[in-house]
Every structure is written in structure tokens, then in C-alpha cells.
Amino acid sequence: MDNNKANTVASLMSVKQKSGKTFSQLAEETGLTNVYVAQLLRRQAQLKPETVPKLKAALPLLSDEQIHEMMKAPLRSYDPNLIQDPTVYRLNEAIMHFGESIKEIINEEFGDGIMSAIDFFCSVDKVKGVDGKDRVVVTFDGKYLPHTEHKTEHMVSRLMRKE
């Protein structure tokens, strides 16, 4: 992460910490998912103009400069060392372990295609299991995108050549 982004993230996380609010509390106040709020504060998502008043109300210590920075298109990246964090490692492991089966079910239920990670919602919830112990629920809610057959008659660049 470059120094400017790291400094911005540190300042945004400081505002959150000073508020004493959780990501879930901020999500409830803004109408966003808790993961998206975290993405905003980590500069992995862009703050949209219609959300500014809600976020400012939820985090009144946010400066106009911070809001302006959050409204810029972010560099969506990750630190390769992040995989060393046990939580991130286990999430990656779960996707690797269950990924092939999830892919098969997507193909079976929807056809040949993928789940979008752009038209996508993600949330983390805490629930009680049947044994009464805390459980983590991670929800991926992505738009289905079918793979298309590559017909030259649908290829705009080929059609333009004929004109």
C-alpha cells in the first residue's frame, strides 16, 4: 500500500475508532452493508454523493478533505502479506476448498457463467448456532453473469470494419 493511501486509511480508521462504533452500527446508520463500510474506510470502495450525508451523520469527525478523498475512485488493491493473517488465510482456504463445488452448483442452477464481484454485496453477520455457540456468516450476493458464445456477428469491432 502506498504511503498516501496508508495515511488516508489510518486517518479514516482513527475517526471510526474515536466514534466508538462498529462497522455493523455504521452500516445500520448509513444503509450500507458492514463490509462496504469497511471497504469505504479502507479506501477499497468509492463513496457516492448520495451516501455522504449519512456517513457524515454517522461519523461527524470526518473532515471535508477525508470525504473528498473517499469520493475519488480508489485503487482497489491488497497487501500480499495480508494472506498471513489467520482470518484472511482461513477465508481463502474456505474458498479454495469449497470453490469447485460452489462453481458446479452455480453452473447447475444458472448455466455456464460466473458470479460478479462488481455487482456484488457482501456482509458478515454473527449468529448463534444450534449448539448455542457464536458462528460467523459471510454472505456473497453477486449478480449472475452468463458466458456468451463468441459470434462474430455480435462483435461490434468486426461490424465497424464492414462499414
Task: Report the catalytic residues.
Answer: 90, 93, 116
Give strand pairing partners of 141: 121
Give strand pairing partners of 134: 128
Alpha helices (H) along 31-85: 34-41, 52-58, 64-70
Give strand pairing partners of 127: 135
d(CA 141, CA 129): 22
d(CA 129, CA 91): 19
- Buried-exposed string 8-45: b where 16+ CB fall within 10 A, e elsewhere: beeebeeebeeeebebbebbeebebbbbbbbbbbbbbb
The grid cell for 26 is: 455504521
